[in-house]
Each structure stands twice: as structure tokens, then as C-alpha cells.
Amino acid sequence: MTEPVHSTDAQAWANPRWATSRHNHDPTIAVPPHPVGLHDLTIHDGEESADLAFTTADKVRIAEALARLGIKRTEVFGVEG
């Protein structure tokens, strides 16, 4: 098994299992902390799949579960045209 690569290694951004930008590991690049906002499309996009239709109760239950996880915006009902 491959030994884990730590950010202090000379090439932490590349190993046999993954590669990331070397800039992600550069301590001279300051990354200001900022909040991340998530907008969930699970219900809307899920209903666009073949043979899938959520009931209103299903949509409410999924939206409530997402809200408990901290998702503040959920697109529940798509616009039919």
C-alpha cells in the first residue's frame, strides 16, 4: 500500500492515487475564510429522471432532512412548461 502523502512533503500535490494543484499546498498563498452556501437541486433534478415522481410528502421529508443538515436553499418544485 502507498504511504500517505502529507502537505509538508516536497510534492504533496501528486502521488499515484491523486493530483491537486500545488498551489493548494503553498503556505505563502493566503486563503481568507469565507462561508460556503449550498443550494440543493436533488429533488428537482431527481424528478427529471425517467420513472421517478416524488409525492408532496416525499418532497417535504427530503427538504426537511436537507434543512437538518444545514442546507438553507432547496429547489423543490420545478416549473413545468
40: part of which helix (H) or strand (E)? strand 39-40
pLDDT of 81: 41
Q: Provide the whole-model pTM.
A: 0.48
Contacts of 43 (CB under 8 A, 6+ apart): 54, 59, 62, 63, 74, 75, 76
Which of 50, 51, 40, 48 shows the shortest CA–CA distance to 75?
A: 40
For residue 5, pLDDT beyond 50:
no
Domain ranges of the chain: 39-74
- Look at residues 26, 2, 30 and name the one whose alpha carbon lies nearest to residue 12: 26
Q: What are phi and psi of 74, to 5 degrees?
A: -135, 130
Q: Which residue has the higher pLDDT, 15 or 40?
A: 40
pLDDT exceeding 70 applies to what percent of the chain? 77
